[in-house]
Amino acid sequence: MGLVKTFPGRGGLLGHEPVRALRGVDFSIPAGGAVSFIGESGCGKTTLGKILTGLESYDGGTLAIDGQDVRRLPAGRRRAAFRRIQMVHQDPYAALNPTRTVAQTLSDPLRMRARELSRDQSWIDGRSEDLLRMVGLDPGFVLPRYPHMLSGGQRQRLVIARALTVDPDMLVADEAVSMIDVSLRLGILGLLRELRRELGIALLFITHDVATARYIGQDGDLYVIYRGRVVEHGPTDVVIERPVHPYTQCLLSAIPVMRGLEDAGPERVMPVSDEMAEETPCLFAPRCPFATERCRTEVPPLSHSGGTPQEHACFYPVPRRVVPVDRPVTQVGAGPRG
């Protein structure tokens, strides 16, 4: 029985219908592993991240951290369990207090940690500098500065450093690079990979961009989520190279082709409609180019039906080649001569 979360309706276009953010989502994240949740905005992936970090409650299902159902833990131990999972938000501007310097931003949580470990102020100072260096910031430069004096990329690095103050076992990165210039994203993504490799910190990477998820966790699992339900789940490269759920195929088809370097996948598909339509048993049926009557009368269960290596929730699992294909290396055009 997976996680369930329903929000009461809040008006707007969707009316006062309750919003079913999660409809029974099962997943597990191995210690030190990398797992990605992929989906459009509103699919429930952000709610999942919040539940995992204790920022949001859930209405059904169980959440176990280190094998222990957090609802059965006494309050103190529950807080401690959630503290081991830290969140890196999308917006590093909003995540930082503008009136606190970098030194203050780090020393607050470190002071708590110092008490637990019976350390003194010099430990806090040293640890601040170590953490900043670990995330690629120059302590001498950033410590006296306020968040607004840093670039977007530097701020996101600071948010990660602050998350590390409590020695977490896992980071939840929710669209952690989407507000940063494309040119600087890879630096942050590389940092997250490094933290996993060097410190064994597990990563839950939440994004709409499959290519960044692959960069972070090529060796991990990918969950594709549609309207609160997992529609496909398997090893990252299996799902990318041989996706069987039409929704996954649409998401992957949406990746722009780098002309000159790549050719379009030969079987690209697009949704037949972009509107969130009425709920049908298969939630994707109204937008699916391959839907049949069965999809509108019966819920496709998550299974390996058709003998696929990945789990999927589709009655007609057909692998399609939708991602761009690398072109062989050739020199095009004039070449580097002036």
Stretch that binds other proteins, among 27-35, 50-58, 103-111, 323-331 (CB under 8 A): 323-331
Tell me: does residue 333 bind other proteins (CB under 8 A).
Answer: yes
Are 71 and 61 in contact by the 8 Å Cβ rule? The answer is no
Which is it for the CA torsion 80, 82, 83, 84, positive or negative? Answer: positive
Binding track over 28-47 against other proteins, x by CB under 8 A: ------------xx------
Comparing CB distances to other proteins, the nearer of 307 and 335 is 335
Q: Which stretch binds other proteins (CB under 8 A): 104-112, 121-129, 178-186, 309-317?
A: 178-186
Which DSSP state fits 94?
Answer: T
Give the residue, chosen from 1, 13, 75, 94, that forms a contact with other proteins under the rule CB under 8 A: 13
Q: b/e per residue, 98-108, with b = 16+ CB within 10 A?
A: eeebbbebbbe
Taking the C-alpha atoms of residue 294 and residue 296, their distance in angstroms, rounded to an integer, is 5
Residue (134 or 257) nearer to other proteins, CB? 257
Q: How far is the CB of 156 from other proteins (least distance, A)?
A: 13
Beta carbon of residue 286, minimum distance to other proteins (angstroms, whole number): 14
Residue 63's region, left for phi above 0, alpha for psi from -120 to 50, else beta, is: beta
End-to-end CA distance of the chain: 65
Q: Please name every residue paired with 229 in a beta bridge, in sequence order, or none if there are none.
A: 226
CA dihedral 280→44→180→248, nearest 10 degrees, is: -40
Provide the mask over 75-104, with x wherever binding to other proteins is found by CB under 8 A and - wherever it is not.
------------------------------
Cα 240 versus chain centre, distance: 16
Residues constituting the chain? 338
182 binds other proteins (CB under 8 A): yes
Q: Which is nearer to other proteins, 18 or 260 (CB)?
A: 260
Which region, judged by CB under 8 A, interacts with other proteins, from 28-36, 198-206, 258-266, 297-305?
258-266
Residues that bind other proteins (CB under 8 A): 12-13, 40-41, 151-153, 181-187, 189-190, 208-212, 214-215, 218, 240, 250-262, 264, 270-271, 274, 323-327, 329-338
